[in-house]
């Protein structure tokens, strides 16, 4: 009798455990931010909501390709982070859906992203594009520090520059779109091809070049200034340049995938990452971009966007599928071969 009772209780316990597992909320997130920032927010969200988060990190180009490929049966609930252009493309292609997020506390550039996309993506942070160089390596090689974008075409920098590939990296696509807006399309591609002669590697990730420059593996990098600030603050001899001609900037996005299987949890994620408390935690892991919530704390190390010569970046045009595909095709034909 005791044996039968024990067996019955064991079976009952297994049934309860199985039911709890089935009823537990889950969320599938692709994060296009830096890994430590991804991890911090996933853990914080789980702690606040009790929702289990399955998160992977991918660049924006990779994520857009995945979202397109899985359109009929999405595996992702939320796409968080990365430059806004691919998020806008996903919205225009009806791959994402409105989140219904409250934007009343968000800054104008964040609300603008929401309005352009019909509420399908919302701005979570902003960051300016810049140049970084390893001061020790530059001095050892007797090179002058770059001041302007056009300086990067100087033959003295041959083999000294690293930047990401715009086909996979939102950072590098922002650079491509910035050059077109600054110099006009034909001159932009001529200049990018000249700079291409000095490129030692096109990386997959937008933050990888500045990490390589910090370690002395390359002399000069192109990327977002907030990533460079993190490295400089960590003690690397990295100097940051805001190019003399002006520069573009990103507005990172968060989007809910159309057909998301965990829609309620996805909406809670959007509300969470737009909150002032969550956005204020970036400096804990060395994230120094500018948060979109007007009540969030901005770290003193974060680039001061008001003091940087920013272009009037046209997110609607350069976040359009046809524009992106045309520019990438031209980059593949005219710029990439120059580095070979």
- Burial pattern 253-276, b for ≥16 Cβ within 10 A else e, equals bbbbbbbbebbebbbbbbebbbbe
3-class secondary-structure state, position 214: helix
Name the residue range of residue 54's domain.
24-126+251-298
Handedness of CA 187, 309, 156, 163 (dihedral sign): negative
Same domain, 258 and 116: yes
- Answer yes or no: is 142 within a domain: yes
Task: Tell the burial category of 62 from Cβ atoms under 10 Å away from its Cβ (0-12, 13-18, 19+).
Answer: buried
The domain that holds 228 is classified in CATH as: 3.40.190.10
User: Is there a contact between 270 and 101 (Cβ–Cβ < 8 Å)?
Assistant: yes
Same domain, 291 and 263: yes
Nearest to 43 by CA among 57, 53, 33: 53
- Answer yes or no: is 52 within a domain: yes
As for how many domains the chain has, the answer is 2
Same domain, 208 and 328: yes
User: Is there a contact between 31 and 81 (Cβ–Cβ < 8 Å)?
Assistant: yes
3-class secondary-structure state, position 123: strand
- Answer yes or no: is 10 within a domain: no
Q: What is the tens place of the pLDDT at every residue in 246-260?
A: 999 999 999 999 999
- Distance spanning both ends of the chain, measured CA to CA: 80
Q: Please report the pLDDT score of residue 25 as a whole number.
A: 87
What is this structure's pTM?
0.86
Torsion of CA 241, 247, 253, 259, to 10 degrees: -130
From residue 196, alpha-carbon distances to 122, 165, 189, 206, 332 in Å are 34, 11, 10, 16, 11
Same domain, 76 and 194: no
3-class secondary-structure state, position 198: coil
3-class secondary-structure state, position 72: coil
Distance CA 109, CA 33 (A): 19
- Answer yes or no: is 314 within a domain: no
Same domain, 261 and 232: no
Nearest to 99 by CA among 255, 273, 253, 252: 255
Distance CA 80, CA 227 (A): 17
H helix or E strand, kind and range, residue 175:
helix 170-183
Same domain, 183 and 279: no
- Answer yes or no: is 17 within a domain: no
- Answer yes or no: is 197 within a domain: yes
Q: What is the tens place of the pLDDT at every residue in 146-200?
A: 999 999 999 999 999 999 999 999 999 999 999 999 999 999 999 999 999 999 9
3-class secondary-structure state, position 127: strand
Same domain, 39 and 153: no
- Answer yes or no: is 187 within a domain: yes
Nearest to 164 by CA among 213, 125, 237, 122: 213
Q: How many CB atoms lie within 10 A of CB 50?
A: 9
Same domain, 144 and 258: no
Phi, psi of 339, rounded to the nearest 5 degrees: -85, -10
From residue 268, alpha-carbon distances to 46, 52, 209 in Å are 11, 12, 34
Walking along the chain (340 residues) 10 residues at a time, the average pLDDT comes out as 45 43 76 96 97 96 96 97 94 97 97 96 97 98 98 98 96 97 98 98 95 98 96 97 97 97 98 98 95 97 94 94 96 91
Same domain, 137 and 233: yes
Torsion of CA 57, 199, 289, 181, to 10 degrees: -110
Distance CA 279, CA 219 (A): 32
Same domain, 65 and 165: no
Q: Please name every residue paired with 281 in a beta bridge, in sequence order, or none if there are none.
A: none
- Answer yes or no: is 306 within a domain: no
Q: How many CB atoms lie within 10 A of CB 246?
A: 17
Same domain, 93 and 139: no
Say if strands 220-224 and 161-164 run parallel, antiparallel, or are unpaired: parallel
Same domain, 119 and 157: no
Q: Tell me which residue has tokens 């008001």.
A: 306
């Amino acid at each position: 009798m005791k044996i039968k009772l024990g067996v019955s209780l064991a079976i009952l316990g297994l049934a309860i455990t199985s039911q709890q597992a089935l009823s537990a909320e889950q969320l599938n997130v692709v994060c296009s931010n830096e890994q430590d920032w991804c991890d911090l927010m996933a853990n914080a969200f789980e702690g606040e909501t009790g929702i289990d988060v399955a998160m992977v990190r991918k660049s924006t180009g990779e994520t857009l390709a995945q979202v397109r490929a899985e359109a009929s049966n999405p595996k992702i609930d939320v796409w968080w982070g990365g430059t806004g252009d691919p998020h806008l493309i996903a919205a225009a292609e009806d791959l994402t859906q409105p989140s219904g997020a409250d934007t009343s506390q968000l800054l104008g550039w964040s609300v603008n992203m929401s309005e352009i996309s019909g509420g399908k993506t919302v701005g979570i942070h902003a960051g300016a594009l810049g140049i970084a160089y390893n001061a020790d390596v530059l001095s050892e090689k007797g090179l002058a520090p770059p001041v302007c974008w056009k300086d990067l075409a100087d033959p003295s920098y041959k083999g000294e520059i690293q930047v990401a590939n715009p086909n996979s990296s939102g950072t590098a696509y922002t650079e491509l779109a910035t050059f077109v807006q600054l110099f006009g399309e034909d001159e932009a591609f001529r200049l990018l091809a000249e700079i291409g002669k000095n490129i030692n590697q096109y990386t997959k990730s937008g933050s990888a070049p500045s990490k390589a420059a910090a370690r002395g593996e390359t002399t000069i990098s192109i990327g977002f200034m907030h990533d460079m600030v993190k490295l400089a603050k960590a003690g690397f001899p990295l100097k940051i340049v805001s190019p003399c001609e002006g520069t573009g900037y990103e507005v990172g996005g968060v989007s809910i995938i159309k057909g998301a299987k965990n829609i309620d949890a996805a909406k809670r994620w959007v509300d969470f990452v737009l909150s002032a408390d969550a956005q204020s935690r970036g400096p804990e892991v060395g994230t120094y971009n500018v948060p979109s919530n007007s009540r969030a704390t901005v770290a003193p190390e974060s680039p001061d966007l008001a003091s940087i010569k920013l272009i009037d970046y046209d997110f609607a045009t350069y976040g359009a599928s046809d524009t992106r595909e045309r520019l990438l095709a031209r980059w593949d034909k005219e710029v990439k071969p120059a580095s070979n």
